[in-house]
Chain A
Amino acid sequence: MIRKIWAIFRRDLKVNLKDSIALYILFIPILLAVLINLFTPGINETTVGLALLEGDNTSQVNYLEQFAEVELFKTVEQVQERVEERDATIGILPENDRYYLMTQGNEPEGIVDYAKIVNSFYELDITIEDTNSELFDFERTVPPFKKTLVNTMILLISILGGMLIALNIVEEKADNTLSAINLTPAGRLTFVLGKSVIGVLLSVIGTIALIVITGFGTVNLLQLLLVLLVTSLLSISVGFIQGLTSSDIMTAAGSIKILFLPLLAGVLAIEMLGDKWQKFFYWNPFYWAYKGNDLILSQSGTWGQIFMYSGIVLLISGIVYLFLAPKIRKGLE
């Protein structure tokens, strides 16, 4: 069976490497990576934001500015408002003789730790000369916008995988070769798996290329792979359906676009909307995949969290698949 799956994949690859639209799809991930690098600041710039109260704490401000971007506000309420915006800004507020951190709860752990450490350094009077290289490690905090882009592109690449599958199914339909395959001992499952390989590989290799080029190469690849695979299940099912129901390549490629909508909705919900809106997006597999990827990209995801998010994506994609499977089976007859 493996041998036949491989043969089907090799055939697809051979055809795709000669086809301009397919080639274009195969190279989009690299194109995206290069574009992201062009338009976002480097990964090593500090963008940890700290919100402080204005007052006679000039030394503190000066000290912290060495390590982070500091914004000053007049009242505690204003600081709180700033912290509640959706980027990862952390408030440092006085209480008695000490300072405490005000967080929103959704900041990456690394950033919170970082803020804690700079704050205690200040309280302990550690000068920048005393600090060792460890502190600079913490400075490798990722610019949020770049992370958002990379995360969105990872999801987009999985959709491209579905698009490629749709193209290849349309080819089989146009040449009427499905009936010939149906009369070989390669069963339907073998065929479906064989046709899926190129989509999965595009999404895995494309994503790895993307994260390496954009500087996220050190993230936990196994975690990323897990989220990728469950997300691909959705794109692949949709790819099959679109391929089977479209009569030509352009319609197939075009109709895959219906996946862009939930993808964007999920990303925008997480990045722009407040907590009370989130529950309206729980049905959206891209929403959870994005959350999972976000933890992975900021290198703060535990396996428990990743399993949970992948599980949710798998569940939703699985339901979509169960719904589409009879149609796919019928289309392949």
Chain B
Amino acid sequence: MISVKNLYHSYNKDGKYQVKDVSFEVANGEVFGFLGPSGAGKSTALNILTGLLPLQQGEVVVGGYDLKKVSNERFNKIGMSFEQSNVYSKLTAKENLDFYRKLFDVPTLDSHTLLKLVGLEGKEHVKAGEFSKGMKHRLTFARSMINNPEMWFLDEPTTGLDPSIAADIKDIIKEKNKEGVTVFLTTHNMFIADELCDRVAFIVDGEIKLIDSPKNLKLQYGDKLVEVEYIEKGEVIKTTLSTVLPEDKRELQKIIEHHDIQTMHTKEATLEEIFIKVTGRGLV
């Protein structure tokens, strides 16, 4: 279980916070996601939870370990895949994993099995320095599960990967979750959030704006969007409006009264559209 209460973080300790009053809980076996645009503070929050960044203010308990108390033992239970791959470029894929295995006190997965899992079979003896970006990322990802973590932290697990590799990685995450692993991930990709997460937190400028399951969010916002195409000064304009929000309702009325409507239909909102509605910001 992960429990975070009133978490704040300021890199320069200058009164400007990159993470502001963040509170949430992740149940065991849940997949929880931070969805937000670049610079929102997703990695910052995640790095505090893993212990890469010091805990400045707030209360954080990860897998039963209070982060205020130092304990290296807890790293046996957590795994982290980094946003930017970080492996020894002078060592081969297998040497990288073999070395990392020796640093844990718990049973670890065999390097060969792991490499096979992420599609690096046959590349065991190639130096990581000669890997492509995607291959390095897969090696970094493979390394994060070496100690069979109970808590698995994934910072942008699929960003920048080609679609088929991204699909493989999504499958692995689902599989591990089925085995009972608790997953905390960050992403600015609404499809990932939608497909993988039991619950998502919308985060903008270091603050959580909302936490709910993708399903609930769509139920709440989904049927209540209309997509309108109309003609204004000879140009076709396309817009999406809510049938719930007062200003959107007024806008819709105006369009119907003053313009030629070309098409108009209700549609299921994507997570991104909901994000924009809720936070007033896009995901990029």
Q: Which residues of A contact B73 (CB under 8 A)?
A: 185
- Output the least CB separation between B265 and chain A (Å): 49
Contact: B103 with A187, CB < 8 Å?
no
Contact check, B88 vs A177: say whether CB atoms are below 8 A apart: yes
Q: Mark B56-88, 1 if CB is under 8 A from A, else 0.
A: 000000000000000011111010101010111
Q: Does residue A171 face the partner (Cβ distance < 8 Å to B)?
A: yes
Pair B88/A15 contact, Cβ less than 8 Å: yes
**Does A4 lie at the interface of the complex (its beta carbon under 8 Å from any beta carbon of B)?**
yes
The answer, yes or no, to whether A250 is at the interface (CB within 8 Å) is: no
CB of B131 closer than 8 Å to a CB of A: no
Q: Nearest-CB distance from A174 to chain B (Å)? A: 8
Interface positions, chain A 286-333, Cβ under 8 Å from B, are 333
Give the distance in Å from the alpha carbon of A131 to the alpha carbon of B54 in the complex.
76
Contacts of B91 in A (CB 8 A): 11, 14-15
Give the docked Cα–Cα distance between A162 and B133 (Å). 33
In the complex, which residues 161-191 of chain A have their Cβ closer than 8 Å to any Cβ of chain B?
171, 174-177, 179-187
A4-B87 Cα distance, complex, nearest whole Å: 18
Looking at the assembled complex, report how far the CB atom of A330 sits from the nearest CB atom of chain B, in whole angstroms.
11
Give which listed residue, A7, A14, A176, A333, contacts B86 with CB less than 8 A.
A176
A97 at the interface (CB under 8 A from B): no
Closest A residue to B95 using CB positions? A14
Interface pair A7/B99, CB less than 8 Å apart: yes
Per the CB 8 Å criterion, the residue count for chain B at the interface is 27
B89 at the interface (CB under 8 A from A): yes
Cα distance A171–B89 when bound, in Å?
Answer: 9
A4→B143 contact, CB < 8 A: no
Contacts of A179 in B (CB 8 A): 52, 82, 86
CB distance A182 to B51 under 8 Å?
yes
Q: Is the CB of A186 within 8 A of B103?
A: yes
- Collect the chain A residues with CB atoms within 8 Å of residue B54's CB: 333
Q: Does B90 contact A (CB under 8 A)?
A: yes
8 A Cβ contacts from B73-127 to A: 73-76, 78, 80, 82, 84, 86-91, 95, 99-100, 102-105
In angstroms, Cα B51 to Cα A184, docked, is 11
B82–A184 CB distance below 8 A: no
Q: Does B177 make an interface contact (CB < 8 A)?
A: no
- Taking a contact as CB atoms under 8 Å apart, the answer to whether A182 and B95 are in contact is no
Query: How far is A177 from B88 in the complex, measured between Cα atoms in Å?
Result: 7
Q: Which of A121-176 contact B (CB under 8 A)?
A: 171, 174-176
CA distance A333 to B53 in the complex (A): 8
Question: Are B103 and A177 within 8 A (Cβ)?
Answer: no
Q: B189 at interface (Cβ–Cβ under 8 A)? A: no
CB distance from A193 to the nearest CB of B (A): 13
Q: With A7-B99, A14-B95, A176-B84 in contact, do A184 and B104 touch (Cβ < 8 Å)?
A: yes
* Closest residue on chain A to residue B106 by CB atoms: A185
- Say yes or no for B266: interface residue by CB 8 A criterion: no
Q: Assess whether A98 is interfacial by the CB under 8 Å rule.
A: no
Which residues of A, 1-58, contact B by the 8 Å Cβ criterion? 3-4, 7, 11, 14-15, 18-19
User: Least Cβ distance of A167 to chain B in Å?
Assistant: 11
Q: Interface code B23-52, partner A: CB below 8 Å = 1, 0 otherwise?
A: 000000000000000000000000000111
- From the candidates A11, A14, A175, A185, name the one contacting B89 in the complex (CB within 8 A): A175
Residue interface mask A43-78, B partner, CB < 8 A = 1 = 000000000000000000000000000000000000
Closest residue of A by beta carbon distance from B73: A185
Inter-chain contact A180/B86, CB cutoff 8 Å: yes
Q: A175-B88, A185-B75 are in contact. Are A7 and B103 (CB under 8 A)?
A: yes
Question: Please, which residues of chain B bring their CB within 8 A of the CB of A7?
Answer: 99, 102-103
Q: Mark B197-210, 1 if CB is under 8 A from A, else 0.
A: 00000000000000
Across the interface, do A18 and B90 meet the contact criterion of CB distance under 8 Å?
yes
B139: min CB distance to chain A, Å: 11
Chain A residues whose CB sits within 8 angstroms of the CB of B90 once the complex forms: 15, 18-19, 171
| Interface pair A180/B100, CB less than 8 Å apart | yes
Q: When chains A and B are docked, how far (Å) is the Cα of A180 from the Cα of B85?
A: 10
A11, B99: Cβ atoms closer than 8 Å: yes
**Judging by beta carbons under 8 Å apart, are B89 and A180 in contact?**
no
The distance from the CB of A329 to the nearest CB of chain B, in whole angstroms, is 12
- B185 shortest CB reach to chain A, Å: 16
CB neighbours (8 Å) of B100 from chain A are 180, 184
Q: Which chain A residue shows the least CB distance to B127?
A: A18
How far is B86's CA from A180's CA once the two chains are assembled, in angstroms? 7
A180 to B72, CA, bound (A): 13
Contact flag A177-B102 (CB < 8 Å), given A185-B72, A185-B76: no
Question: Given A14-B95, A179-B82, A180-B82: A185 and B88 within 8 A (CB)?
Answer: no
Chain A neighbourhood of B95, CB < 8 A:
11, 14
Q: Which residue of A has the minimal Cβ distance to B78?
A: A183
Contacting residues, chain A, for B104 (C-beta < 8 A): 184-185
Hey, which chain B residues are within 8 Å of A184, CB to CB? Answer: 75, 100, 103-104
Q: Give CA–CA (A182, B50) in the complex, Å.
A: 10
Chain A residue with minimal CB distance to B76?
A: A185
B115 to chain A, nearest CB (A): 17
Bound-state CA distance A177–B99 (Å) is 12
The answer to whether B88 touches A183, judged by C-beta atoms less than 8 angstroms apart, is no
Chain B residues, CB < 8 A from A3: 102
Cβ-defined partner of A183 (8 Å) among B80, B87, B99: B80
11 cross-chain CB contacts under 8 A: A4-B102, A7-B103, A11-B99, A179-B52, A179-B86, A182-B51, A184-B100, A184-B103, A184-B104, A185-B103, A186-B103
Given contacts A11-B91, A183-B78, list 12 more A-B pairs with CB under 8 A. Answer: A4-B102, A15-B88, A15-B91, A19-B90, A174-B89, A175-B87, A175-B89, A179-B52, A185-B73, A185-B74, A185-B76, A187-B72
Q: Lowest 3 A-B CB distances belong to which pairs? A: A7-B102, A184-B103, A176-B86
